[in-house]
Chains A and B, each alone.
Chain A
Amino acid sequence: MAKPGLLVVLLAAMLLMGCTHSEESSIAPLAPAAGRVDPGLGPGTRALSSGPGYKGSPSWNPDGTRIAFTMDGYVVDVPTTSGESRRWTTKDFVATDTEWTSDGILAILGATSPTRRGADNSLYRANAGEGSLALERIARGVLAMSPIPGEHGLVFARAKGPHGSKLAGSRDGGTSYRNYADNPIEGHVSALSLSPDGEEVVMSLRPPGDPRTSELRTFDLRQREGRNIARLEGDREILGTPQWTRHGIYFVAGKQSTRLDDDSSEPLFELYCVPADGGAPEPAPGVGEDFVASSIRVSPDDDRLAVIGRLNPKSPINLYVLDPAAKKLEAITANEDMEIKTDPDDLAWSPDGENVAIIARGTPSTEPEVRTEPADRLLRDFYNLYEIPVSEASAR
């Protein structure tokens, strides 16, 4: 029985050897490539882009891992953590808006070789997987668009003659579309967005014979019926895209000709609210009577409104979040000396509602400025995208 005993000892040794792992040396975690920076917008700010280029119209993809934007007219996207940018259009393309319809597909509103900016825009579809800069045209003469979250679709307005518009929709990321109604809408649609339930659209319009975007209209996509909900009087016009929250429709409006250095006590543009079923627009409660609004965007949960504006005509521009239910405005950035871009489409919520992307730069000098970094790594010297965390207090 000595031999079986030896065998058992040998097997035990083999088992012990097999169960013993070779010593592992730990690998230190990688430092975040794009860490938090404080470029003068307050703590927690993170740069999402760098280098030269006039950037605009940021849009987060549905899973929040990439952000697309226009740069000097062409479209690029970058990972929100770190990595190289991708170009989606050629440099002779001028995009005015870009929106994700799914994680790999962008809807791009713009024109190839335009004779003037914004003239005769078409709506295109671009696919990240196709590896080229080819665009598929969805429709010509498109005035405005909005993605339909969760359906890989789009709703958009096409020009119908000099004074009319038609609403159309495409589904499943395709290039085919259908009109929502046979009869055109009177007026040219300037901008549109969806209601919280996705079944209606709110549009700002330029009525026939009126040079101003002065009318708000809703359209029920299921009933295929539209109705006017507000008309602005007194030379005021609507700026940007109206936003439909769970507590009413918000929009920015004012007199385009008013300037900051005017002695007029009237602010440049005000934030207004109107009930979804129509009525007289009222200044949005909670922002203060001197508040000057520039651009707004509703949060993914439709309960908060990101607002770029200033508390009064002399105060710095900042990002704020308005809670319409609580009528409470919270400053999100603490802008010291940055120029925050104020075009209507220059802000976007992340899909999880925890961050807002804005575009900002330092004040440019009239003298040559010398830096010790390559141009493509500079932040403050050019308009760049920043991710601004929205505090817990403003999250509901």
Chain B
Amino acid sequence: MRGVAIWFSGAALAFFLTAGAFLLLANIATIPAEKSLAPEPPAAASQPIVGLELNADQLASLKLEPDQSLDLTVRNEGNTPLSDVNVTLSVSSENTALSVSRHYRQTVAKIPAKGTADIPFGFDLSVPEQRVTGRPASEPARGILEIKATTPDGISTMKTVILPP
């Protein structure tokens, strides 16, 4: 009877030791606790302290030709002066098959708090000689201007202008 009890205890001990070892290994290999992926706070992007103003009359006079000009006004909407504000102007075409992409850039040294800076831009809005693309003749491509002002802190504001053909 005692032999049976010892045999039974031994078997149980072997079982528990094996099971315990596996559970221990499983715990060691467990992936670390997951952390919730909180989105980046959008505060900086949603509250720009720079503003861009475009002259509506000048916009209306733009033609899809070379030697066009546009005076931009960058406004500092914050309470501290801004320095080294990059202003970029990109020209492209609604016809994405045409490689029309021109980039212009100017840097504004300083804009006082609540103040503005006027930046004259000269640029080429011409479209290269039209080759055959999938766009029908009845759908002439419009010009696209993308204007962006960015502070050294990475805070930016942008305007996209769609120009009729």
Contact = CB atoms under 8 A, between A and B. Distances in A.
Contacts of A17: 23, 27
B62 A368 contact: yes
Interface string A82-102: 000000000110111000000
Interface string A354-382: 00000000001111111111110010011
Interface in B131-164: 131-136, 139, 141-142, 144, 146, 157-164
Given A72-B97, A94-B134, A364 B142 contact: yes
Given A23-B33, A73-B134, A368-B62, A52 B164 contact: no
A117 B134 contact: yes
Contact of A368 (B22, B30, B60, B146): B60
A373 B157 CA distance: 9
Interface string B45-86: 000000000101001101000000000000000000000000
B146 A375 contact: yes
Interface string B96-135: 1111000000000000000000000000000000011111
Interface string A8-26: 1001001101110011111
Nearest to A4: B9
A8 B30 CA distance: 25
Interface string A247-272: 00000000000000000000000000
A223 interface: no
B160 A73 contact: no
B16 A94 contact: no
Contacts of A56: 134
Nearest to A372: B159
Nearest to B134: A73
Interface in B1-60: 9, 13, 16-17, 19-20, 22-24, 26-27, 30, 33-37, 54, 56, 59-60
Nearest to A11: B16
A373 B160 contact: yes
A210 B22 CA distance: 83
Contact of A366 (B33, B37, B158, B164): B164
A11 B132 contact: no
Contacts, number: 137
Nearest to A14: B20
B99 A25 contact: no
B163 to A, nearest CB: 5
Contact of A73 (B36, B92, B133, B161): B133
User: Which of A52, A95, A113 counts the most chain B CB atoms within 10 A?
Assistant: A52
A370 B54 contact: yes
Given A72-B134, A365-B164, A54 B139 contact: yes
Contact of B95 (A54, A92, A366, A378): A54
Contacts of B157: 372
Contacts of A113: 132
Interface in A46-83: 52-54, 56, 70-74
A24 B32 CA distance: 9
A222 interface: no
B36 A25 contact: yes
A137 B6 CA distance: 81
Contacts of B144: 52, 375
A315 interface: no
B37 A73 contact: no
Contact of A27 (B19, B36, B142): B36
Interface string A328-369: 000000000000000000000000000000000000111111
A393 interface: no
Given A370-B161, A375-B92, A18 B135 contact: no
B134 A74 contact: yes
A52 B96 contact: yes
Contacts of A72: 95-98, 133-135
A114 interface: yes
A2 interface: no
A94 B26 CA distance: 58
A256 to B, nearest CB: 14
Interface of B: 9, 13, 16-17, 19-20, 22-24, 26-27, 30, 33-37, 54, 56, 59-60, 62, 92-99, 131-136, 139, 141-142, 144, 146, 157-164
**Leading 6 A-B pairs by shortest Cβ distance:** A18-B23, A73-B134, A72-B97, A11-B16, A14-B20, A368-B59
Given A15-B23, A25-B33, A373-B160, 10 more contacts: A4-B9, A7-B13, A11-B16, A15-B20, A27-B36, A74-B134, A91-B98, A94-B133, A95-B134, A364-B142
14 contacts: A7-B13, A8-B16, A22-B33, A28-B37, A71-B96, A72-B95, A91-B96, A94-B134, A115-B132, A366-B164, A371-B161, A372-B158, A372-B160, A375-B92
Interface of A: 4, 7-8, 11, 14-15, 17-19, 22-28, 52-54, 56, 70-74, 91-92, 94-96, 113-117, 364-375, 378, 381-382
